[in-house]
Structure 1
Amino acid sequence: MQVEIIDPTVQPVPADWELFRKQEGLIAAWQADALTAVAWCSTRPVRLGIVRDGGQVAALFSGEVTGLPPRRGRYAEPGALPLTGWFNCRMLIGFTSGFVFAAELPEPDRVAVLAAFEKALRRRLGRHCLGILYRQVTADMLPLVARRSRPRITTAPNTLLRNRWPDMDAYFADLPRDRRRRLRKIHAEAAEGTRVLAGAGEIDPVQAAALAQATLRKHGSSDAPLPARYFHVLSGEEGVRYFGHLDEDRLLSFDLAFDDGRRLVTTVTGSLEVRDGGRRNLYFDLYLREIDYMIGHGREGCEFGKGMAELKQRFGCELIPQTAVPAAW
């Protein structure tokens, strides 16, 4: 097997990355230009991996090196690594693991791909890296990475709403009475006072970037904000779906979701504070717009991501366990 480790801030992502992504129907979060945009704004060095077997792409990897010092300085050289740390193997934007295989690749070959990637990454990062931390691993992928004596660390679960309704009326009817009345009211009032986005393929990238950054700061996150370029390169990309509310042309709230034809997967969100000209409960209505889309387009379910699990369960979501697995060199 041949493994290529890529620093997208100084190296072009190979053309067969995008060919593989489209052939395998991967969500647009794996788009090469989008990952490159994330790498350029990240406070941690990003590395991508592509594994080929007989010249054919067998798997893709994404992640970032975390360690000491914990973050890059503003003027750090592109690609510079911390003194020591771990490679966090995860999807850079989203709530899924940082590796995907060719659908037809059998399990023994998948294990061989992981071993080849680990070996190549160890050679590339050298003393700067203590090992790989596989993040956001689901039960079906756990046997591939949690072999031998590697520990398993339970992390915050993902949330999934499984589609079992013919329409929104049936969805609301399934909710407890008090919750049903409140969510119906929120859904109706949001449509009256705003221009609603419900599955749009593009959005104003500058407004989206600013709103996403403001939301991170509101919740005390120190993560680097996404640049406007991230939203720009996704514009018009197959499977990109925006849900949001606008006051004329001013963006008040939005969710970025990816539709792979089977599930809707939510990722980046942004919402104005009421005191900044926003409106109450638009965040809840985003969920309802996504549920409406899921039902109307016959998707199996909608992933609502990590965090606020109790709140999302009120909308009918179930918890999907996820695990972190450290693999020390």
Structure 2
Amino acid sequence: MIQELPWIENPYDCKLWSIFSGLSCLYFLKAQLSSSGDHHSGTPVGCWQKFRQKFPVGLSLFLLGIILAVMNLTNTRHANTNNSSSDLDQKDTIQFTSEAFVVNALKGATWGDWKTGILEGTLPQLPLTTLNSCLSVCLLAKNLFPDKPVVERRAVSWSIGLMNIFFCPMGSMPHCHGAGGLAGQNKLGAKSGLSMVVLGVFKITLSILAHYGYLLTLFDALPSSILGLLLVIAGHELALTGVSSVAHPKEGTSWTAFAPGKQPDLTVTLMTGLIIVGTGKTHVGTLCGLITYLLHESGHVEGSSNDGVTGDTDLATEDSAGNEEYSPLHRE
């Protein structure tokens, strides 16, 4: 997304904005992760440190994107003043649409449409939804909030299924509890249940206002430089969680080392991720990862059983038992 942007040709959406926004996020997020600064309490330095720790990075990025989008739309409108005024007014005038809020999305659907939807929509999406919205989101919630009650994967699966069964036939977009959204929200400061309530009210309000048409134009003009950066932040949080599930801190350093009991998890993680990235097909990577896991379980892969684990056997057994509930391969 960001790679395709020009450097400075478009002043409202370019790589320069991504670099500036990225460095700003790094500056403020680094302060939020550190607990230092108490010894500067009451001084200008201490006040600035508190401001950095409380600064709403995500909200600021969103507002910056809105400002750039408005400026881009305004500049485009002024640049087209020499065009036909009737065409311009027809395109840019905000008009109320008479379309209903709730529609029958299944009206007129044929058996061919159902076949296409199942083969080209459901089957490719099934492994992605299972991994991202049912398994990964529960593991991520456990890692981010270890003191909170464990989120049951069955409950999350039921929630996703019921949302889509009831709302999609009425014209709604498909819903899920994506791990990327949870990672991004947590990274940018939305860590309480109240923040999700505020987000829900905000989205409902926007959906009602979008019925008038002009908000869709505004959101379509949001710069990719800002949206891409938000995706990078969410992806970085997910990557750190994935590494922490198969690694543990090295003693005396900030680096991580792979634990003996986590080698099967590491192999399955790398196999699944590399094939998905290489082929661009989630179901192929999922199938290969599942086969790799079954080979480890059956003992056909070296190091998959206690006999194959080299080093301190007691340490490997203790590590495996101590981290069993955090393993993404742990079965209920």
Largest Rg, 1 or 2: 2
Greater fraction helix: 2
The answer, yes or no, to whether TM exceeds 0.5 is: no
> Could you state the TM-score of these two structures normalised by the residue count of structure 1?
0.23
> Could you state the TM-score of these two structures normalised by the residue count of structure 2?
0.23
Greater fraction strand: 1
